[in-house]
Structure 1
Amino acid sequence: MKKEEIVLFGGGGHCRSVIDVIENEDRFHIAGIVDQAVMLHEKISGYEVIANDDDIPLLAKQYKNFFITIGHIRNSRPRWKLYDKLISSNCQLPVIISPKAHVSGRARLGPGTVVMPFVMVNSGAEIGPNCILNTSCIIEHDTVVGFNNHISTGSIING
């Protein structure tokens, strides 16, 4: 079965972590990474930087699936703006879930959300679009996490 292609936005540490999850999930083929123009043709974890943010209209014609791999430590605005730009260009932002995570079948995850290894998302939890559920965090039953949030490594949110 041929894997669908996906393009990643952002080439830093979070990108490298998400690449590991995508490779382990084995659902997508990473077509390339979008980063700053000075990084063009550089390799990040073996994947080429193929474009910069200015190329979104062209990329949206060539690819269907995109994922934001810009981290969220200091400022959430770049992720938020990029999400809006991709959605307005009719791009698909799938949910990426590590096979080492547990997500209840009764939980809901918004588009563009990544679930890193050893995360627990329990029954009735609702996770908004464009979220990072970082390694080993726990989202308990009936918890609501809104749009564009980063639940940091090891955090516990009770229901």
Structure 2
Amino acid sequence: MKRKKLILIGGGGHCKSCIDVIEQNNQFDIMGILDHENLFGTDVLGYKVIGSDIDIPKYVNLSYSFMIAVGQIRSSTVRQRVFNELSKYNADIATIVSPRAYVSKHAVIGRGTIIMHNVIVNSSAIVGANCILNTGSNIEHDTVIGNHSHISTFAVINGDCKIGEGVFIGSNATISNNIHLGNNIVIGTGSVVVKNIKAQGVYVGNPALKLKI
């Protein structure tokens, strides 16, 4: 099968993790990275920064695919903006799955999502567009994850959960069975969620409570 030519958008730390997965995925040739002008000519793991967001139309016209390699900690705003920009040009936004991940044949994975090493996505789970399922995270049966969400390293989302859009779930956090989380919620590292959460905010602890900022 012919490998597709791929442009990465964002050249930070998350980009390095994406590159490692893409190289092992063996479906894409990385042609370069788009980032800020002051980074032009620099490289990330041997791949050059060759332009910025304004160059997206040029590479769309060349029929290149794209991967959003911008990370997400407190907000998905940048990832959403880039995703919408790519969609405006009808760009091919790649969905990438590590060969070291397990994704059930009965699961659904959205456009532009990346699934990192040692992730588990179990039967009848639905993962939205432009999500990050980071290293070692576990998405159990019948769980739905909204667009633009980031499930961080070794987080566990148990069965029948509904996770909103733009949600960040921190490393080693646990979401109990049948929990519903609203949009743009942040769950802190190691936190345990045992009740539904609707209001936006940062939630930490065991059980997870809203952090007063």
Per the shorter chain, which TM-score range? over 0.9
Give the Cα separation in 2 of the matches to 1:2 and 1:115: 22
Partner of 1:60: 60
Which of the pair has the greater relative contact order for Cα pairs under 8 Å at 6+ separation?
A: 1
Q: Based on CA coordinates, which of the two structures has the bigger radius of gyration?
A: 2
Q: Match for residue 13 of structure 1?
A: 13
- Judged with a 3 Å threshold, the aligned counterparts in structure 2 of structure 1 residues 50 and 63 are, in CA distance, closer, same or farther, namely farther
- With normalisation by structure 1, the TM-score equals 0.97
**Larger displacement relative to structure 2 (55-64 or 103-112):** 55-64
Does the Cα contact within 8 Å between 1:7 and 1:63 map onto a contact in 2? no
**Identity within the alignment, %:** 47
Query: C-alpha distance in 2, partners of 1:63/1:102?
Result: 29
| Structure 2, gaps ≥5 residues long | 160-213
Query: Does residue 70 of structure 1 match 2:57?
Result: no
Displacement of 1:55: 1.4
1:111 aligns with 2:111: yes
Q: Measure, in 1, the Cα distance between the counterparts of 2:68 and 2:44.
A: 15
Secondary structure of the residue that 1:84 maps to in structure 2?
Answer: helix
Q: Distance in 1 between matches of 2:61 and 2:94?
A: 17
Alpha-carbon RMSD: 0.9
SS for the counterpart of 2:18 is helix
In structure 1, what is the Cα distance between the partners aligned to 2:22 and 2:63?
17
Q: 2:88 corresponds to which letter in structure 1?
A: S
Deviations 1:77-97 (CA, angstroms, capped at 9, x unpaired): 000010000011010112111
Partner of 1:91: 91
- Cα deviations across residues 23-78 of structure 1 (Å, max 9, x unaligned)? 00111000100010111111111001111011122221123310000000132100
How far residue 126 of structure 1 moved from its aligned partner, in angstroms, is 0.2
Q: Which amino acid aligns with 2:121?
A: V
Distance in 1 (alpha carbons) for counterparts of 2:95 and 2:2: 19
Distance 1:155 1:97 in 2: 18
Task: Count residues with an aligned counterpart.
Answer: 159
TM-score (norm 2): 0.73
Distance across 2 between alignment mates of 1:126 and 1:15: 24
Higher helix share: 1
User: Which segments of structure 1 move beyond 3 Å, counting only runs of 4 or more?
Assistant: none
Shift of 1:128: 0.2
Instruction: Name the amino acid aligned to 1:55.
Output: D
